[in-house]
Chains A and B, each alone.
Chain A
Amino acid sequence: MKILVCISHVPDTTSKINFTDGDSKFDTNGVQFVINPNDEFGLTRAMWFKEKQGASVDVINVGGAETEPTLRKALAIGADSAIRVNTPATDGFQVAKELAKVVKDGGYDLVIAGRESIDYNGGMVPGMLAELTDANFVTNCISLEVDGTNATAVREIDGGKETVSTALPLIIAGQKGLVEESDLRIPNMRGIMMARKKPLTVLEPSTSSSETTTVKFEKPAPKGAVTLVDADNLDELVNLLHNEAKVI
C-alpha cells in the first residue's frame, strides 16, 4: 500500500497571531512552526500501517522552502520520503489541485490529511482532492482499518459516530481518535540523523489558479474584563445571564 500523508506547516498553538503588510500577511517573526496537529494524528496512523502492514509512507507539503524543516520532522518520525510543491499555499482549491497531480502521478492508494489546518481552518483540501482524483473520501475520521483494498472507517458526526465501509483508493481527513495523543511520536536522534539522508523532492507547481484571495486579516476586538460574581451570591449570576447577557 502506497500512502501519502499531507502535512500542513502551521504556527504552534501558543504563537502570537500578528499580521504585517497592511494586515494582509501573517507575521512569521518569532513564530515556531509545527506539523499541523490533525496531520500528525494521520502521520502516526500511517506509521502503524508501515510497521504492521508494510506500507510505504511519503509526506507532502505545498509551500515555500521555509516549510522543509517541518517535512524533515515528518521524515524523522518515520516517513520514507518527502515531496514539496514549490509554491505558496494561498487557497485550498489551489493546494488540492497541486496535490491531485502528485497523487495521480504517484499512484497512491491512501491519502491521509487532517480534517483542517489550525491556521486557515479551511477544512476543504481533502474533500477537494478526493473529488479531483475520483477517490473515496471520509472526513472527521477517528478510526481507519485497511484489509487488502477494503477499508473500514469511523466518522465523527454531530452527536455520535458513523461506521462506513469503503475501498482504496481512499482519502481521509483525520483527527484525534485516529490515534491517541499518547501514541504521537517525538523524533529520536537516530530518526533525525536518518531524516537528513532521506529524499526530499521539490516539484514545481502545475497550476497557477487561485479561486479565493485573502484581502485582509483582522483581530477580534479586545474583550472586556471578566465580571466576578461572589460564590455566595449566585442569584446575581442568574440575574446577569438573564438581564444583561440575555442567554437564559
Chain B
Amino acid sequence: MSDLLEKYVRPEKNPGTACKGCGLRLAHRKVLEAIDELGLTQGDVVWGTGIGCSGRQTFVTWKGDTFAGTHGRVYAMATGLRLALPPEKRLILTVGDGDAFTIGFLHLLNAARRNVDMTVVVFDNLGYQSTGGQYGVTTPLGSKTDSSPYGAWEPNWTQGGFDVLNILKEAGATFLARHTVLQGHEPVESLKKAIQNPGFSLVQLIYPCVTHYGVQALGTRNLASIYDWFRERTSDDLSADSNTHFTTGIVHDAVGSRVEFAAGLRGFVASVQKGGPDGAAD
C-alpha cells in the first residue's frame, strides 16, 4: 500500500494531513488502487479537487498535474478544461458531499447533462466536517451535529425515498455508483469503470469522520466503535432501506449510451467548418 503512495503521491503530502483515524485515507487509496489497476501513470491523469476536507486533503497530492477549484465550481472548471485536454487524458475530481451535492449541485447537474468526460469521486463524510461538524444533505436524519444540537431534521437527499444519485441519473450521468470505504474491492471496481467511462461518472464514497461525526453524532471517540457503526450500516443491496442503511452498488451504468460533450462539440465544430448544419456560409 505504501508503494502505491510512493508511486502516485507527492512526497511532501505523504503522509497526508487528514486527522488520525480519518476514513479519507482509505477513500483516497481506493482511487489510487483503481488508477493503478488500470495501469495509468501520473501523466495519464489530471486531478482536480474542491473545498472542504475532501478537497483540501487531496489537493496537490497527485504527482502529476493538479488543480483546486473554488467551492462547488470545479465541475464548471472541469467542463472548460475537458475541451482543452486530449480525450485520452483522464480527469478525476475528488470532492466532498457539500461541494458536489449542495453548493456545486447546479454545475454538477449541468456537467451530467452535457455528459462531460470526468470522474467525480465524492468523498462523503456525512456533512460539513472541516468547519467543525454541521449537517448537510447526506447527514442521516436525527444526527446531532454542531448545527443540529437537537438532531438533523431538514429533509436530506439520501433518505425518505430520495437518492441524490437518481437526480444525477435523470440529469444524464452515464455512470453512477455508491460505496462505503469499509467495503473491500467493490469500490475499486466501480471506480475503475467510472474512470474508464468516456463520459460523466460519479462515485459516492462514504467514509467515517472520527473527529466530528463520530463524536457528535455517534457519541464516541473510539475508532473501532465508529468504524463498526459504518460497517453495520453498509448494505450490498441497493434496494435495502436507505433510512437505516448506506445502500451500495452500481446505481446506473449507461456507459457508451450518450455522446461525450467535448467529442460532440469537436464533431459539431468540424461539421460547421465543412459548411455543415445549415452551412457556415458567412
Binding partners A and B: no
User: B residues bordering A, Cβ < 8 Å?
Assistant: none
